Amino acid sequence: MSLLSLEQISVAFGHNPLLSKISFAAEAGERVAIIGRNGAGKSTLLKIISGEQVPDEGMVRLEGGMKIAQLPQELPEANGKTVRDVVSEGAGEAHSLMTRYFKLLEDFENDHSDELGDIQTKLDQIQGWDLEQRVNHMIQRLALPADKLMSELSGGWRRRVILAQALISNPDVLLLDEPTNHLDVPTIEWMEQQLQQFRGLILFITHDRRFLEKLANRIIEVDRGNLISFSGSIHEFLVFKEKLLEEEGRANALFDKRLAEEEVWIRQGIKARRTRNEGRVRALEALRVERSERIGRQGNAKMAIETKEKSGKLVAEFSQVGHSFEDKVILQPMDLVVNRGDRIGLVGPNGCGKSTLLKILLGDLEPSEGTVRQGTKLNVAYFDQLREQLDPEQTVAENVGEGKDVIEINGQNKHVIGYLGDFLFPPERARTPIKALSGGERNRVLLAKLFTKPANLLIMDEPTNDLDVETLELLEELLMNYDGTLLLVSHDRSFLDNVVTSVIAFEGEGKVKEYVGGYQDWIRQGGKFPTESTSQTNAEPTKKEKAKAEKEAAAVVVAKPKAKLSYKLQREFENMPEAIAKLESEIASLHATTSSADFYTGDADQVQKTLAKVSHKEEELEKTMERWLELEEMKNG
């Protein structure tokens, strides 16, 4: 029996049909992957199912009483709520009623017996009295730190919390939009296991092919306004789709031949025109309309990286290089040689030190011990996963052309609009502000901007986020044929296997080791992630560690000349430890206050003021820590 069915759904933006009279039905136990090109309508389809968007035509049907829950693409706010509170909020009405119930019970001065009676009746009807038990069970099942604040958790752990929030309502349908974005591999593999145990219906969008392979048992492709449904694995679907496109090509060729013959007939001389019949003319008009309504498949992007001048044979050499932030070891002493043409993947949990290693390699950070020798003639290009190189208010063309209409590509002048056409941006889309683009389109803009500059050392931080399969595979091919040096940070296991020739693995406690081959080769050679990366409490850093980890994970930039400390800066640096200690003491005191059993039962305004003070002090500490590290680097330079 179908849990969900869509009947003749249509959506159009302007004159462009995004979805055209699509229909499908899905049942419990199905894990449906929704695939398609960027901008094809995948996210729109999920929004229609969830009720966020109303279709222009058609109807969405859910079996009576069916519940839908979502795992949004955006991370939840890092606020002062506890993990337990956030998970409980997923119960919706039951959570609201229980919160109101206990608040009324604490108001001894007034009589709330009538309202309490109404709440009790509603809780009986929705079986809400077992909420605390369900929350505890979910927290245990997903190994969550129940009493920690969301502000204390990394992005990966906050992603776990909202998965628990989605599951606490016992949904029948679970919607996931790019659930693996910005997660490290251990957390992705953990999520795969959790979702495989879900007994309801899952519909999900993902760019992660390994995640897709492991989870999906049905594929739905959104293609030119239509849906293609296939029960089976992604590999079986791709074989099926190839045959489907061959048949479509043959049918289109026959149609075009017939149309051409009719066009010749209608243009024949006077004798033929006298004898032509009106039925045949009407048939020709119908053929013309049908041909004009045919939507061609979107082409593939055309990418090329210009290396221009080769670097020296040696790119970088580490001799017993190690690094620590105070008592936290980021890198144990290690030797490493990077030669021209190497394609190296960096793998490890978030915050393990990948960005630190890159900064040391580029000379932007002085290691605590050991020496680094850099190669010569290095031209560095950096792909930033946060896309901070893009101005959201400027158009695509303005971002890529940097104010110029003509740019030089491989020694030839090319109009920026024509260049962007190679990256699947038609003229009207090239004049669209960045803020109006999808995630996949923004990634293509960043790639287009990156490839306007010649580079022989390419550093890419999560370049695959939000890319459709065709563009991702093209990028793979481009990087495989790149004759410069590539350093790739990625949690996409398939992408690593297809592109890199060696892996630098961060295996916990600052231990870093190089392996020949890709991700699977590392696993076969006994490689594994540190167990603490997925444990309940040990994975969570202290406030001090968190501030340093965030500093360490900042965007990699090309080395700049380092300045010695002036007298004023030296005094500022010397006063930093005392300022940091004072802030940490104040934060610890505030945390003790907010952790007390009766804190949240006090005056609501005072509670909010205290939580706001906690947030302010934590931000102040992070800025102070960053300034301290900056001054320390300058001092050691």
Q: Known binding site: residues?
A: 36-43, 348-355
CA atoms of 230 and 222, how far apart (whole Å): 12
CA atoms of 364 and 633, how far apart (whole Å): 9
Supply the Cα-derived Rg of the chain in whole angstroms.
Answer: 29
* 448 three-state secondary structure: helix
Contact 353, 506 (CB under 8 A): yes
Residue 361, both tokens = 């390699």
Q: Is the dihedral of CA 166, 167, 171, 177 positive or negative?
A: positive
CA angle, corner 435, sides to 430 and 436, nearest 5? 65
CA atoms of 465 and 305, how far apart (whole Å): 20
Chain-centre distance for alpha carbon 57: 31
Chain-centre distance for alpha carbon 227: 24
From the list 473, 470, 361, the residue with the least C-alpha distance to 424 is 470
In the chain, DSSP finds a helix count (H) and a strand count (E) of 22, 20
CA atoms of 408 and 574, how far apart (whole Å): 49
Known binding-site residue numbers for ATP:
36-43, 348-355
* Ordered DSSP codes for 76-113: PP--S-BHHHHHHHTTTHHHHHHHHHHHHHH-TTS--H
